[in-house]
Each structure stands twice: as structure tokens, then as C-alpha cells.
Chains A and B, each alone.
Chain A
Amino acid sequence: MLKKHELVFILSFLTPTLALFGIFTLYPYFNGLKMSFYEWSGFSDVTTFVGLDNFKRMLDDDIIPMTLKHNLYIMLAVPIFSFIFALFNAVAISQFKLKESKWYRALLFVPYVLPVTITAILWQNMLGGDYGLVTSILGWFGIHLDYPLLGNPDTALWALCVPMIWSVVGFYMVLYLTAINNIDESLMEAASIDGASQWDKVRYITIPLIWETIRVTLVLFILGAFNYSFALPWIMTDGGPARSTEFIATYMYRVAQNDHEYGYATAIGVFIFIIATGLSLLSQILTRKSKLD
């Protein structure tokens, strides 16, 4: 049982937080979510209660499965490549003890702190059809494109993954580096003396010993990719060409802003919320499991 002075202390610390959180976060959200049961243009106070109509409509909307497929693509591609780069960099920096390591660590983290607007504008130019640096570099390797990378439905989705990976590699690298630095140095030395190759060391020592971190970052990757699918495509491709980079979040926003169907957009938002919550539960289950191991 709590003593009275403890209770006073707890309340004095907790009340301001709960008040602020309740008033400015929870209350507006619940107010917003109830719009999924209404038909609402979003720019007047005229609303019509339509029950579950908005949700029923989602079942018939064939753009939704298409956008989910795109989400799934980047949920696979972005994590895989980010993981490979981040782990490679972390291992390289810790194993080779290059004298400029500190610089790599500091610089590669930078994209993570940049505003997404800036990332988008940068990469729009990097990947652009006429002068894009990436297009030129591909040209050096004899790859000549018929259409610009972001202007071709076959490549746009993949091209969008590049800035997504670019933004997060440094962040994961630091997490892995932290975990690797905790590995007992003598293990590595012993392995070297036994004649283990660099790859063997990574495979049999590093990865197993930082597995816990890796497992958690996997979930993190998935959620990150899910969330990165908004601002970048919105600015860089506007969901195009031919809807090839339309994601569930961009579609929701388009429904609200272009079709003036706020109610329906909100219903899509509830759906996104359910997916996101599902992914968060998944992350909790995975991390809990790792504790039991």
C-alpha cells in the first residue's frame, strides 16, 4: 500500500503529464476517429451518420489491396537492404578499427536527423530522369534507361526505397555498433588465433551475440518502412506513375484531400491504426520471446 506522502508525490508528478496528454493528444484523437462512422466533406460542420458504410466500402475498393502490396514490398526490401548495410558498416567499423571510423559513424547518422522534406527534394534530384546523378552513374555501367527511375511504374517503387534506406542505415548501424562493442574482445582475438576468417567471425560470433538487438531491429524496420511510406512518395512521385507508388497512407490522404471524403479517409485511417497496432504487438511479442531465451 502506498503511504499518503507517496501518493501526494506521485500525483504531483503525474497529474500535469496526464492532463496535457489527455487534453492535447487523446481527446483530439478520439474526436477524430469517430468521423469514420460519418460522411463528411472535411471542410464544413455538416456530417451525416452512415454507420459502418465507410468500412463496407473499403472491402470493394480495389485500390486498397494494391496499396497494401506496395507497402508489403517496401516492408521487405527496405529492411533487408538496411540490415545488410547497417550490419556490414557496424562490423567493418568495429573490426577494422579504421582511424576515420568516428567520421563514418557521425556522418552516416546524419540522414536520420534531416527533415523528410529535405530528403525528398534531395532524392528527387538525385533520381531525376534528365540529370539525376543516379541515372548518370547507371550510365557509366552501361545501363541506359528508357524511362526515368521515378517515372516508370516498374522502377519507381524500388527507386523510392533508396532514400528510405539512406535515411535509416546510420541509425541502425549505431545500434548494432553499440551491441558489437559489448562483445568481449577476447572472443574475437581467440577466434583470430584459431584462424577464423573475417566472415566466420561475423557469422559465428558477432551475429549470434547481437542477435537480440537484431531481432528487435527487425520489427523496428518493418514499422519504420510502414511509416516511411507517406511523406517521401507524396513529395517525390505523388503516388505515381500510374499509382505504382501509392501506399495506404498516401491513398488515405488523397481520399481526404482530393475526393473530399474525410469520413471514408478516417475509416482507412482506422484500418491503418489496426495494422500498425498489430505490428506493434508483434514487436512486443518478439521482444518478450527474446527475453525468455
Chain B
Amino acid sequence: MKTKVVRAFTMLAVVAVFVSILSACGSNKGNNEASPSTSASPSSSSSVTPEDTGKKLEGEIEVAAFAGGFGTAYWEEIVKKFEATYPGTKVNLLTSPKLSDILQPRFVAGDYPDIVANTNNGKMDVRILMREGQLADLSDVVNSDTLDGQGTLKDILNPEVLNYPTINVDGKIAALPLNVTYQGIYYNATIMKENGWSVPTTWDEFFKLGETFKAKYADSKAFWTYQGMYPDYMHINFYGALAAYCGADGYEAIKTAQDGAIEKPCVVQALQTIENLAKNDLVMKNILDKTEVQAQTDFLLGKSLFIPWGTWAESEMKDVLPTLPNKFEFGFMPMPAAEAGGPRYVIGDYELMYMPAKAKNPELAKEFLRFCLTQENIKFYSEKTTAIKPVKGAVELVGSLIPQSVQNTIDVIEQTGATLISDRLDAKMNGALGEAWTGFTEIMLKKKTSEEVQAAIAKKFNSTK
């Protein structure tokens, strides 16, 4: 009879685990989400009075915003500003760091918010949502006038924005950009300056610098580090190398999942930029179990020269920066070119705002989208988040409101004439590149060669529908 009770506990253990299954499993694995962080201090907001549009707008909207790296202060205040500007309206705000987890069941159930500002869009792919008819086509909003007489929204946005894969989905405007982030290779400017090194412009120069670096620092500092537990951070330098070696067309073919594109020899060359890091012992030790913050803190502590990262960097680490023993100076470089004078690339990506097709109050929601893109509120956004919207003349408009590292990045992109590429690959290719992230780790462990990783990606690609 003992067995009965013991068996009961068999069940119990099982249940205990099933109950805990999924608990805390919410790591978000998007390629390049921006970076949440906590504290964001509320500050005084000057009241805006946009031109009277003559429209009578009323009712309620629900805005669901990702509580990410840029905090929630912007959302709390822009909502208040909007309500003050449009008396009689009400904006219900929902913010969460797990926004897609909350929205997912709501979308399935047809319980839509009116506006989603989900920067975490790897999890809820806008393209899938659009193709499934879940999102409103915002073409009319883009073609409508701004609220402050700056022409249409289309006029004020950077021209490449409306061709971006997650914004222009099959000719429809699925989303508006909330902000733009640039991703490339960050370096420790102090180390560079102290040694009088110049920033490498080709991969050859890059690896030559690696030798020089090793000769100088041996094991005391590393040439390269990355967010080891999440190797897909290296897609930043990898995609840049792909574009460099395969050319803009070759990269486009990969991005749009053309057959055979990933099997070209230039893909091996791109993978070799990673393999060489491992081969030449340029990578920091003990990083394969490191999370973003751990790896990035190492970089800020001066333990490595390079790291792949994005313009959210300074905001993401704003709590660490003031507590560092030495002041840190950010340097940014576009990905090196295949050969001297060749084109160099930077990933430009947008965090998005979109409107469900079945939003309850579409007119007011569209007004809210326009409201966020007045000159004053473009500035207000940068003031509250330190991020930047992809509008013409943004740097002049918000200059002092964004971190020095972001201004520097934008300057560098301009000076080097680097080309922006998108890292939003078609689903099929994106899935196949899962093999690349695994492959990076295997390359680091010297268990696989570039050729083998390419073969694994191609195999995955060809076996997917």
C-alpha cells in the first residue's frame, strides 16, 4: 500500500514540474531588439498645440507599448499630451517588457489594441501579421498631411524607410517607424587613440590590427568579444560581411531567400571573417555563457577592443556607464569592406508602430500616429528616450537630445558613406540562418569550418518549404 502514496508523489513531482514549465521562459530572441532598461525619469513636458485639424475626434484608444530599453516615460507623457490636445479623448496605455506574450493571445482572440508599439517585433513578425490580414494598411496615413504643416508624412520620413521590408509589406504600409537603430562594430576609442591605431576599413586591415593588438596586449585584453550566449548578435558583422563579399545584389538575393543564394562561395568568405577571429585567437575567453549585459560590461570595462552592437548601446548601459572606473569613449565603425575602397555596410533597423486592422477606433488611432510625428513630438521622443526617429534632418532637430555615441554613429555613417542594409530576412532564410548562430559557436570552439557551417545553412534552407 505504500506504493500508493509514493505513486502519488510520482504524480506530484511531475505536476510540480509541469506547473513550473514555461515559468520564466520568456527570453526574447529577436535578432536585434532594442534594449529595455528600467529607470526613466519623468520630466516637465511643454504643452503642444498642434494646428487645429478641424476634425472632431473623440472616444478612446488603447496604446500597447513595449517597455524596453527606452523606458516607459515617453509613453506615459505622450499619452497625456495627446489627451490634453484632444479634449474628450482617452488613451489607455498598456506597457510591458513581455508585450508580445500579452498581445499574442489577445490577437488570437480578436481583442485588439488600437496601436501597438512593439519594438520586440522578432516575436510578432509584422510581415506575417500583415499577410494574415491582421494589420491596417497605413498608406493613407503616410500620404496624409502632418499636423504641423510640414507636408505629408511621406515627405518628412527618410526615403529608405518606406521601402523597408517590415514597413512596406507587399506594397502595403504595415507600420510606421517608431525609431531607427544602426548596428555595426563598436570599439573602445580610448585604446585606439592611445596606440595611435587607425580604424580598419577592410577585413584585411581588421585582421592585421588583430595581430598588432595581440602583440601589444597578449592575454590582458581581447581583440573581440560578443554576447556569447546569444551568438545571433554576430549577425551584425556577419550580414555586413555578406554584403561586402556577395555585393548588394548578392545580399538582396539572400535576404529575399532566393534559391542558391546562400550556396555561393562569397558566403564562405563572409563566414571566414568569423572563423579568422577564432583561428587567430582574437576572441575573449569564457564568453560562451555570457548574456548581453555581461559581455557589454566587459567591453565597457576595457577588456576588449571590439563588440558587435547597436545605437541602443549607451541607453542600454546607462546605469553602468557612470559607475565605471574609467570613462568610456564609444567608437563606431561600419563593417569593413572586402577590398580597399569597396562599399561598407551598416545595418539600419526600425522599431515599429502599427495599427490592427480591427482597431476599435481607427480614426483616433491614426491621429495618434500623426501626433507622434509632429516636429515637436519628434523632439519630445528623443528627449524622453535618447533614441532618434528616421526623419529628414533628424540630427539637426534633436542633436543635443541624443547620446554622444549615437551622434557619433550617425556622423561616421555619413562620413564613410556606408550603405544601410536591412537585417529583416525573409522567414525561410531567417529560419535557415538559425544554423549560422549555432555555427558561430561551433566555429568559436573550432569544431566546424566555414564551409561546414555554410553547408548546414544550405541544408536547412533547402529542406524548408
Q: How far is the CA of A151 from the CA of B227 in the complex (A)?
A: 12
Residues of B within 8 A of A44 (CB): 107-108, 128-129, 132-134
Q: Evaluate contact between A219 and B445: CB separation under 8 angstroms.
A: no
Instruction: Mark each residue of chain B from 214 to 240: 1 if its CB lies under 8 Å from any CB of chain A, else 0.
Output: 000000000000001111000000000
In the complex, per-residue mask of A260-284: 1 if CB is within 8 Å of any chain B CB, else 0: 1000000000000000100010011
B27 and A240 contact, CB distance less than 8 A:
no
Enumerate B277-303 residues with CB–CB distance to A below 8 Å: 285-290
Q: Least Cβ distance of B357 to chain A in Å?
A: 10
Inter-chain contacts of B17 with A (CB < 8 A)? 224, 227-228, 230
Q: Which candidate, B18-26, B35-43, B141-149, B304-312, is the interface stretch facing chain A? A: B18-26
- The answer to whether B24 and A129 touch across the interface, beta carbons within 8 angstroms, is no
B441 touches A45 (CB 8 A): no
- Residues B106-158 near A (CB distance < 8 A): 107-110, 122-125, 128-129, 132-134
Q: Which of B8-16, B365-373, B376-384, B389-397 contacts A (4 or more CB under 8 A)?
A: B8-16
**CB of B208 within 8 Å of the partner chain:** no
A116 adjacent to B27 (CB under 8 Å): no
B399-452, CB < 8 A from A: 427, 431, 434, 438-439, 441-442, 445, 447
B104 touches A237 (CB 8 A): no
The reply on A179 being an interface residue by CB < 8 A is: yes
Residue in A closest to B27 when the chains form the complex, CB atoms: A238
Contact A41 B23 (CB under 8 A): no
User: How many angstroms between the C-alpha atoms of A224 and B18 in the bound complex?
Assistant: 10
List residues of chain A with CB within 8 A of the CB of B231: 240-241
**Contact status B3-A287, CB under 8 Å:** yes
Are B3 and A291 in contact (CB-based, < 8 A)?
yes
Name the distance in Å between B343's Cβ and chain A's nearest Cβ: 31
Are A253 and B288 neighbours in the complex by a CB distance under 8 Å? no
Tell me which of A127, A150, A230, A284 contacts B25 (CB under 8 A). A230
In the complex, the answer to whether B10 meets A283 with C-beta atoms within 8 Å is: yes
Q: Please state if A115 and B20 are interface contacts (CB–CB under 8 Å).
A: yes
Q: Contact check: which of B3, B18, B107, B289 meets A216 at CB < 8 Å?
A: B3
Q: State A262–B145 Cα separation when bound (angstroms).
A: 40
- CB neighbours (8 Å) of A46 from chain B are 132-134
- Interface of A: prevailing SS: helix
Distance (whole angstroms) from the CB of A12 to the closest CB of chain B: 25
* Cβ contacts under 8 Å, B24 to chain A: 115-117, 120, 231, 234-235
B residues in contact with A230, CB < 8 Å: 17, 21-22, 25
Q: Closest CB-CB distance, A289 to chain B, in whole Å?
A: 10
A194 at the interface (CB under 8 A from B): no
Residues of A within 8 A of B6 (CB): 175, 212-213, 216-217, 220, 287
Residues of chain A with a CB closer than 8 A to B13's CB:
168, 171, 220, 223-224, 227
- CB atoms of A150 and B289 under 8 A apart: yes
With an 8 A cutoff between CB atoms, is A193 at the interface? no
A148 adjacent to B286 (CB under 8 Å) = yes
A240 contacts across to B, CB distance below 8 A: 229, 231, 288, 438, 441
The CA-CA distance from A42 to B286 in the complex, in Å, is: 37
In the complex, the answer to whether A148 meets B7 with C-beta atoms within 8 Å is no
Within the assembled complex, what's the spacing in Å between the Cα atoms of A280 and B11?
A: 9
Asked whether B323 is an interface residue with its Cβ less than 8 Å from the other chain, the reply is: no
B56 touches A (CB below 8 Å): no
Task: Tell whether, in the assembled complex, residue A249 and residue B23 are in contact, meaning their CB atoms are under 8 Å apart.
Answer: no
Q: Give B229's nearest chain A residue, CB to CB.
A: A238
Given A231-B21, A259-B431, do A129 and B290 touch, yes or no (CB 8 Å)? yes
Contact check, A152 vs B445: say whether CB atoms are below 8 A apart: yes
Judge whether B253 is part of the interface by a CB distance below 8 angstroms: no
Complex: A58 Cα to B195 Cα, angstroms: 55
Known contacts A45-B108, A152-B445, A179 near B23 by CB under 8 Å: no
CB contact between A237 and one of B128, B132, B289 (< 8 Å): that residue: B289
Task: Tell me if A60 and B104 are in contact (CB < 8 A).
Answer: no
Which 7 residue pairs across A and B have the least CB separation, nearest first? A151-B288, A227-B17, A129-B286, A117-B24, A151-B289, A150-B289, A46-B132
Q: What are 15 A-B interface contacts by the 8 Å CB criterion? A: A43-B107, A43-B128, A44-B128, A120-B24, A147-B285, A150-B288, A151-B229, A151-B288, A230-B21, A237-B289, A238-B230, A242-B441, A249-B21, A258-B434, A284-B7
Interface residue ranges, A against B (CB under 8 Å)? 41-46, 60, 112, 115-117, 120, 124, 127-130, 146-153, 168, 171, 175, 179, 212-213, 216-217, 219-220, 223-224, 227-228, 230-231, 234-235, 237-238, 240-243, 249, 253-254, 257-260, 276, 280, 283-284, 287, 290-291
Given contacts A240-B438, A253-B22, 7 further A-B contacts (CB under 8 A): A41-B128, A148-B286, A223-B10, A223-B13, A230-B22, A258-B123, A283-B10
